[in-house]
Structure 1
Amino acid sequence: MQAWLQGLNMGGGHVSGRYDQTFVVYGAVFLPNATQTKITEINYGGKILLPTSALDLLLRMNIQYPMLFKLTNMAAQKVTHCGVLEFSAPEGQAILPHWMMQQLNLCDGDTVRIESATVPKATFAKLKPMSLEFLNISNPKAVLEVELRKYACLTKNDRIPTSYAGQTLEFLVVDVKPANSVCIIECDVNLDFDAPEGYVEQPRQVTPAVNAKPPAPPASAFTGHAQAAKAAAPTTTIFGGSGRRLDGKKKPTSSVSLSSEAGASTSDAAAIANDLPAIPPVVVNEDYKPGRISFVRYDYKRVDVLEKELREKEANQKSQPSKLFQGSNRTLRGAR
């Protein structure tokens, strides 16, 4: 056992359980015998390829699963986190996605430090689409749920690509919780989206709501109609002749006649019938704009209120003293 541990120390092993190595990085196109499908799988994900010797060394350590790594460009002091896809890279090399090399300011042939890392499970992530094509996705959360399975970690300020309908959609990791780097494997993440890059929200045109009712049409509009109907009503001529006495004397003059009584009753009935308000003609609203309908409501009285007022008016007229037989009395002998 002691000889085995000494062999690990001589071979550069880390008995402390922390993996820390330096590799020369290359893009996915430099992977031997790489197909276009394999290159696409690497570039549209957050996992790297390491050599077989790295797997042998990791198996000798107490590395937590899933295996997560911290990548550091020592020259530019750029850091990100990732997972591992395969252990099929050439010895001494690490194959990185294209977006990860841009994130770390690395070129093919540069060196990068790869360390084992432990990051907490993600609880919240906020992404910012970098293109307006994001607005054409009908269900963006469902699409990202599938695409984010290709990633093991999310690091704040990383710019990750996804593939949708043959297009490349990039997202900026605006915020993640509970740390700046989180693991998104087998966890429930509350996903939120920021406004896409270049999106300008159109200002809403808010029309002020009018709660006050417009005034009712003037009473002259109804009284004129009633007067015109009263003038057009024919007057009755029943019992319109003059009366005669048997003794041949002239009938004394009287201010009341049957014809007047009949005419008065007829005119009163016509006035009551025409006293109801007439509905004005419908006016077309030419200022109507789609999206909002305005219902104009006039301050009319209800039918039961109008009928009550008419009944009270009729009762007041009946309660007044009658003007019939108000002339002075006379005798055959003359004045008393």
Structure 2
Amino acid sequence: MVEAMEIDPPKGTSETWTEKYRPKTLNDVAHQEEVVTMLKGALTGKDLPHLLFYGPPGTGKTSAALAFCHELYPKNVFKDRVLELNASDERGISVVRNKISFFSKRAINQSENRLLNVKIVILDEVDAMTRDAQSAMRRVIEDCSKTTRFILICNYVSRLIAPIVSRCAKFRFKSLPAEVQIDRLRTICNSENTPLSEEDLKIVMKTSEGDLRRAVCTLQSLAPVLKNGDEKAKNSFLHPTNDSEIVKEIVSLLPSAKVPQVFEIVKRTAKSCSGVTFLRKVFDEFLEDDLINDDNIAIMGKLVAKCEKRILDGCDLQNNLLDFLLTLRSTFIN
């Protein structure tokens, strides 16, 4: 098991915990041995290719990239050598042509250290870029490879065009084991003087669905309640009942429900349900009740994946929930 790192958090209370406790060195990046070994090799003078980090959210992709850059460059030149962008916010072709291309072509002061003569562009959530922007990005990567290295970060490598993928060394970030997440959360709780029991930490980890960043955000949201010692509020936060009650109602009614009843359920629940997590809870409940079996599990799995993607892409939650439930209903009736 990976040991929890010793934390020396920076002073100040306005900083989010995800930034406050972000790994500062490559040794702090847990459970990603392959990429850490490669990055440490680059620090000692080995060649550094363009990199593509992909895998589930909250597994350390951005943290590994930033930790590497902080170890590579002194503080006094870091801002001149590293450009960090989030492609989900700046996804158009103009960003590639202006910000990225300008930074990549800009001259830098030479150094005796060969690696310090290379600039680095960290582009997060690159799978959110338009195809035109990705094509422009590919040209920038080709034209500026002598002076700039690109670290591209995404959740879904399948959304990238093949010419970009082929120009990068790919590293898949693995989901963090439960014990690693628990150790990390416990360390943060101890540092912030917000104690949680082992069972409560497991609940936070489970509801975050393997996303450690999301789990840390949950801890920060829960911190005021823990410091006030409000046990009732803590239990209400950790054990919400709304979703569970609604899921049980849907499972009992849906197989025989009329279409107007489905519309009524959606209208009543869409405003309060937890989106993607809610869809998975419905799926799991049908699975436990054997309403999803070997005959229809493939259809159900594709349905959940399709609706999840739509919601994550910003489509209307109510319409997707309606499509999800009506399709489930038709499966049972047929």
TM class by smaller structure: under 0.3
Structure ranking higher in helix proportion: 2
TM-score after normalising by structure 2: 0.22
Q: Which has the larger radius of gyration?
A: 1
Structure ranking higher in strand proportion: 1
Pick 1 or 2: higher relative contact order, CA cutoff 8 A, min separation 6.
2
